[in-house]
Amino acid sequence: DGGITQSPKYLFRKEGQNVTLSCEQNLNHDAMYWYRQDPGQGLRLIYYSQIVNDFQKGDIAEGYSVSREKKESFPLTVTSAQKNPTAFYLCASSATQGRGNTEAFFGQGTRLTVV
Amino acid sequence: AQSVSQHNHHVILSEAASLELGCNYSYGGTVNLFWYVQYPGQHLQLLLKYFSGDPLVKGIKGFEAEFIKSKFSFNLRKPSVQWSDTAEYFCAGYNFNKFYFGSGTKLNVKP
């Protein structure tokens, strides 16, 4: 089954700790994205990557870091510098890079709660 | 700055009522527009998309959207909603290698 797998589904973190969210895709997509979803704010872009070993900051990158060492994988680290990390995190991927006529495919999401 | 905005944050309808959700985009160049739906507890799914051509786009589950370039709009419509359409709906655009999402509209359909 082709798709995007995010793990874990639920994650609890103590204040001051870093935590890494996993995102794997087997769709052979070049581009991958991380979004944060908060009630009433829609999806806000954290980081995106168009190709292996390259990524760009989105609108709310502060307190987050990513890596793209493999085409299939785009893990997101929520660092202790992120002031309000409790949220629902969505990973997405899309086929074409640098051109239009594409669509985003989403994972099931990870709900992160800081305790 | 590129953005997508949705006018309605929460809509409540009775079954069989007609639906129209507003969406406006504010960027130029190539226009790729989408509507996604998020059913409770499920991942975002694509309802329909517009890249070019016929501005009236048909999607899944009886949804359609009309691209009106002069109004920078891409409103979602459905003639008769069902209880199973209860979900959150997101309008999105694709520009400069990024997808931009609106703030979402929660639709509650009463049986």
Q: Between A and B, how many CB-CB pairs are < 8 A?
A: 60
Say which residue, A65 or B2, is predicted with more confidence. Answer: A65
Q: Which residues of B touch A98 (CB under 8 A)?
A: 97
Nearest chain B residue to A43 by CA distance is B101
Residue B1 has pLDDT above 70, yes or no: no
Residue A98 has pLDDT above 60, yes or no: no
Residue A101 has pLDDT above 70, yes or no: no
Residue A105 has pLDDT above 70, yes or no: yes
Query: Which long-range contacts (C-beta less than 8 Å, at least 24 apart) are formed by B43-51?
Result: B43/A90, B43/A106, B43/A107, B43/A108, B43/A109, B44/A90, B44/A92, B44/A104, B44/A106, B44/B90, B45/A106, B46/A103, B46/A104, B47/B76, B47/B89, B48/B76, B49/A103, B50/B74, B51/A100, B51/A101
Q: Which residues of A touch B53 (CB under 8 A)?
A: none
Note the pLDDT tens digit of each residue in B20-71.
Answer: 999 999 877 778 999 999 998 888 999 999 998 999 999 999 999 999 999 9
Note the pLDDT tens digit of each residue in A35-58.
Answer: 999 988 889 999 999 999 999 999
| C-beta atoms of B30 and A45 within 8 A | no
Say which residue, B80 or B96, is predicted with more confidence. Answer: B80
Looking at CA atoms only, how far is residue B58 from chain A in angstroms? 16
**What is the per-residue pLDDT for A97?**
53
Q: Give the SS3 label for residue B76.
A: strand
Does A32 contact chain B (CB < 8 Å)?
no
